[in-house]
Amino acid sequence: MFKSKNYDRSLGYIIEKDYSKIEAHLYDQYKTAHLVITDPEVPKWSVQKEFLKINGMDCQKAVTRYKGREWEAWFSKDYPISDGPYKFNGLPGLVVRVKDRDDNHIFNMVQVKKVHSIFNFVPKNNKKISDQEYRQLVKNEIFSPEDIESINIDRQTGKMGVQLKDGYVTQLDLGQIKKAGKGNEDAELARLLKKSNNPIEKENSK
């Protein structure tokens, strides 16, 4: 189980898009609370006369300033779907690659797959909060041992399995934690489990 969700803790969100209302809903969990934030702001693209073949697909470049960052996207009309990763949509084709100017955040399409059934990933009983409230929560988040649901230590492999109350599961290197020195292990553990301070959306989004 500790290997099943070994990813960046900042990637635990779910994006749901309502095309009829042209808005996106971001679902995230803060501590034990399920949150939903509605976002009506969509990227305003400038399509460029630059072309590139990506994984056999003919792609065209588009740029935008969105949520405080400069973004470069490559979309393909081979898939005439106005959609893409995260909240990136609104182009006349599927976004297969998008990154910010500083290369802090990069999305690459891995697979296009037709599914015959849709699973309901959206959690129930969500608390609606504003974008400003959500940003403030994440900014002021302080990790504490109380956020840990369980710990499993495997001394043979030198790994520590950690499960948090928000559902996040990961494996950590015991050696790395010990290097912090006696008395500093808790602080190092908190540092490793804290969410990123480099969010996709910057505060100066407009």
CB 144, CB 190: distance < 8 Å:
yes
The pLDDT of residue 62 is 98
pLDDT score of 12: 77
Q: What is the pLDDT of residue 206?
A: 45
- Over the chain (206 residues), the average pLDDT of each successive run of 10 is 57 84 89 90 96 95 96 96 93 96 93 70 84 86 85 90 86 90 87 81 62
Burial 79-90 (b: 16+ CB within 10 A, else e): eebeebbbbbbb
Contacts of 134-138 spanning 24+ positions with Cβ under 8 A: 134/26, 134/28, 134/35, 134/37, 135/201, 135/203, 137/30, 137/35, 138/30, 138/195, 138/199
Q: What is the pLDDT of residue 1?
A: 45
Q: pLDDT value at position 119?
A: 60
The predicted structure's pLDDT at residue 183: 85
Q: What does the pLDDT read at residue 50?
A: 98
In this prediction, residue 99 carries a pLDDT of: 97
Distance, in Å, from the CA atom of 194 to the CA atom of 144, rounded to the nearest integer, reads: 9
Give the per-residue pLDDT at 120.
66
Of 24, 28, 21, 23, give the one whose Cα is nearest residue 167: 28
Q: How much is the pLDDT for 7?
A: 57
On whether the CB atoms of residues 75 and 95 are closer than 8 A, the answer is yes
Question: What are the residues whose beta carbons fall under 8 Å from the beta carbon of 22, sequence distance 6 or more?
Answer: 40, 42
Structure-token pair, residue 71: 């973004």
- Predicted local confidence at residue 171, as pLDDT: 87
CB contact set of 119 (below 8 Å; sequence gap of 6+) = none
Q: Is the pTM higher than 0.85?
A: no
Residues 6+ apart with CB under 8 A from 3: 171
Q: What is the pLDDT of residue 3?
A: 53
